[in-house]
Structure 1
Amino acid sequence: MPIELPDPTGRAGLRVLAIGAHPDDVEIGAAALVTKLREQGHEVYVLVLTDDPACCDTRRAEATNAAAEMGVPADRVHFGGVEQGYLRGDIDEVRLVRELMARLDLRPDVVVTHTWADSHNDHGAAYRIAHAAFRDCVFLHYSTHVSSEISHFRPTVFVEVTPDRLLVKDRALKCYHSQASRIGRHDLTAYEELHGRRARLDRAEAFEVGLQYGATDAARRTVGLSDSPFHRFWLPAVGDGTVTLLYEPPADGDTPATSRHRNAARDALRQAFVDLWSPYPLREHCADADEASAAARRGSVVTVGGPDSNPVARECQRLDAPVWTLSSPRCLENRVSGARLAAGAPREFGYVARRASPWAAGATVVGVAGVSDAATRAGMEFLADPGRAPEVARIFDEHPWAQVVYGVEAGELRVVDVQPSTADGGDR
């Protein structure tokens, strides 16, 4: 079952406004997202900014019918009435949107709108209007496959186009009889598969995140809409804040191979957060620095290495007493059964753990350690890309707090043992 996260806003749901420069834009770029939001009980409204003078009534009817297919009723679909092709993003159009929102008494938590990375002039204007008209918002920026500037589009949230959501999306797009040739000008399936590959999903809608000051209450839940394995794993630790990587201090016996493994592992995690999380949440300290202990008492941390090499991991183990520990000489030992897993070709062993912090309320400790530098690196590479080991990722989807022992052979991670923590209702 999925992880249940608390609602930091104190409300049952988010208020979401999806803005399209034209009828069909929201359906092309965000139908799966809108469907997911409606399934989760959030309030969704649609605003179409322009009309086509040649067929205004037809296209408004198409937009209303398409919204209904996504679960948005007609009284939540609104129109700006600006002539198609002449959207400017000026003060008059911003005022138009503000006045409409005031009449509706609608102050959205999240605004879904166009990315600036789009070659259509109306789409770029819609982006500017949305950012000028709303305050204290989280923005999710979508792209349309017919005009996307893919070289500049930098999404960090991915909503899977599951078979059920695809049925809804197809029905919504088929409402636009007048636009069939335009929608089919490029292959939407191939475009969504391209985004899906970045997120370890078969097919996905992709969104850039924009965060205005004062919008942090909705930020955690907005990132939580992402279906990527990376976001599913890290959301309990990062939330709408930061997480601090506490890496092993260098030791006298370190070899060039040790340094190579450690540097490569840290680089992989850094790059993953650069690519997939906005704003960038990762902080770093050597685990024997004074700042490391302070960071652990302040918020979520990642401890790399076992108790012999990482002082914060040692203190966490003393307080939390996990079932599997890394002992010396380097092997994994089960405190309950006495079982031992030692280093030895061709298979190495390690563990990844995610547990409630023993120091900071509401914070998380993610721990990774291995019987060798290569085994620890494999665990870190899982943290950078949980989708590379779906069997392991699924365990953390089902258990917010758990310790997973893995074996690694030829670069592949395999589950050896799973120990849910008492915070998850499991047994020590």
Structure 2
Amino acid sequence: MPGRALAVGAHPDDVELYAGATLASWTASGCEVHILVCTDGSKGSWDVDEDPSRLVATRRDEQGAAIERLGATGEVAFLDRVDGELDADRATAHEVAAWIRRIRPDVLLGHDPWRRWRLHPDHRAAGFLVTDGVVAARDPHFLTDSGLAHHRPAELLLFDTEEPNHAEPVDEVAAAAKVAALLAHRSQHLSTMGIGADADGSQAGAFRAGILAELAEVGQRFDVPLAEGYRRIESL
């Protein structure tokens, strides 16, 4: 269990969706968990009348509430790139590298940029920002004017991967925290969770059951009851 972790997501809610149970489990064991969100979430609605600026503020608040539900007490930071327009350019990778140097995590988590058929460009870009950023963070001749000492995390865990080679076992408490954190993103209930008016709670119940089924499926693959899977890269 790491002493400090930094998880980098493309949008508000991505970290919770792909690594929420892991982070809840680590937090419960004393890990200091930090979150970096790359975009502002301004396009995350199916409502054509939604005000993007209002949605940005809403999603920022939801992200803070979600992390509290995971039990994390570390920093929640935003790069504030426009949703859908994230680029894996050198300048942004160096911003990510600077955050890695500031936080100095033992473990870095991010999207797997090599996942095939990944439609959303922000997910691909966020993944490459992490892989490129960790190189700039670890090597002393990058960011020489930043005043930040170079830092090499012990390992990189890539989530939403097709080829997991590592699983983080979680218990039912961590699984429940993941679900609670995701439900904090109320603006996403309809578009990504299938939860509408839901007067009787059946849709939220179905969403909860789906998350637990996913954790159980990964756990079965790695011979544990519940788990989240990653592509683990060591010797960074």
The TM tier, using the shorter chain, reads 0.7 to 0.9
State the Cα distance separating 1:183 from its structure 2 match.
3.2
Q: For residue 223 of structure 2, what is the aligned residue in structure 1?
A: 200
Q: Which amino acid aligns with 1:191?
A: E
Q: What residue number does 2:180 align with?
A: 171
Matched, 1:210 2:207: no
Match of 1:68 in 2: 68
Structure 2 Cα separation of the partners of residues 59 and 100 of structure 1: 21
- C-alpha distance in 1 between matches for 2:40 and 2:14: 13
The Cα of 1:57 is off from its aligned counterpart by 0.7
The aligned runs of 1:378-389 (5 Å cut-off) are: none
2:82 counterpart residue number: 83
Which amino acid is 1:107 matched to?
A: R
The two structures have a TM-score, normalised by structure 1, of 0.42
Shift of 1:101: 4.7
In structure 1, distance between residues paired with 2:189 and 2:69: 17
Q: Which residue of 1 aligns with 2:104?
A: 107
- The two structures have a TM-score, normalised by structure 2, of 0.74
Higher strand share: 1
Note if contact 2:12-2:41 (Cα within 8 Å) is conserved in structure 1: no
| Structure 1 unaligned residues grouped into runs of 5+ | 1-6, 8-12, 214-428
Counterpart-to-counterpart distance in 2, 1:98 and 1:159:
25
2:72 counterpart SS class: coil
Structure (1 or 2) with the greater helix fraction: 2
- Relative to structure 1, the CA distance from residue 206 to residue 182 in structure 2 (aligned partners, 3 Å threshold; closer, same or farther) is farther
Displacement of 1:210: 1.2
Q: Which has the higher contact order (CA 8 A, sep 6+)?
A: 2
1:205 match: secondary structure? strand
Aligned position for 1:51: 40
1:98 counterpart SS class: helix
Once the two structures are superposed, residues 282-324 of structure 1 have per-residue CA deviations (whole angstroms, 9 ceiling, x without a partner) of: xxxxxxxxxxxxxxxxxxxxxxxxxxxxxxxxxxxxxxxxxxx
Change (3 A) 1:142 1:101: closer
Hey, what does 2:10 align to over in structure 1?
A: 21
Q: Separation in 2 of the partners of 1:156 and 1:43?
A: 24
AA at the equivalent of 1:70? L
Aligned-residue CA RMSD in angstroms? Answer: 2.1
Alignment partner of 1:172: what SS?
helix
Q: 1:202 to 1:32 in 2, by over 3 A?
A: same
8 Å CA contact retained: 2:40, 2:82? yes
Give CA deviations for 1:172-193 in whole Å, capped at 9, x if unaligned: 1110000112332584333333
Q: For each residue in 1:41-79, what CA deviation from the matched residue of structure 2 results, as whole angstroms up to 9, or x when unmatched?
A: 122110111002311110010001100111123x61111
Residues 369-401 of structure 1: per-residue CA shift (max 9 Å, x gap) = xxxxxxxxxxxxxxxxxxxxxxxxxxxxxxxxx
Deviation of 1:21 after TM superposition, in Å, equals 0.5
- Tell me if the contact between 2:109 and 2:157 (Cα under 8 Å) persists in the aligned partners: yes
Check whether the contact 2:24–2:174 (CA below 8 A) recurs between aligned residues: yes
Q: Secondary structure at the match of 1:206?
A: strand
Q: Which amino acid counterpart does residue 139 of structure 1 have in structure 2?
A: L
Deviation of the 1:37 alpha carbon: 1.3
**Structure 1 counterpart of 2:110, which letter?**
T
Give the 5 Å matches for 1:87-98. 87-98=86-97
Q: CA deviation at 1:141?
A: 1.0
Map of 1:396-415 to 2, 5 A cutoff? none
CA distance in 1, matches of 2:79, 2:174: 28
Aligned residues: 191
1:184 matched residue in structure 2 = 193
2:7 touches 2:109 (CA, 8 Å); kept in 1?
Answer: yes
> Which consecutive unaligned segments of at least 5 residues does structure 2 have?
43-51, 139-151, 195-206
> Cα–Cα, structure 1 residues 107 and 50, in superposed 2: closer, same or farther, change >3 Å?
same
Deviation at 1:100, TM superposition (A): 4.3
Q: Residue type matched to 1:198 in 2?
A: R
- Which of 19, 26, 30 is matched with 1:37 structurally? 26
Alpha-carbon distance change, 212 to 89 in structure 1, aligned in 2, over 3 angstroms: farther
Instruction: Give deviations 1:255-288, integer Å, cap 9, x for gaps.
Output: xxxxxxxxxxxxxxxxxxxxxxxxxxxxxxxxxx
Distance in 1 separating the partners of 2:68 and 2:16: 11
Distance change in 2, residues 1:212/1:127 (3 Å):
farther
Do 2:66 and 2:182's aligned partners in 1 also have CA atoms closer than 8 Å? yes
Deviation at 1:111, TM superposition (A): 0.5
1:93 is matched by which residue type in structure 2?
A: T
Q: Which has the larger radius of gyration?
A: 1
SS of aligned partner of 2:103: coil
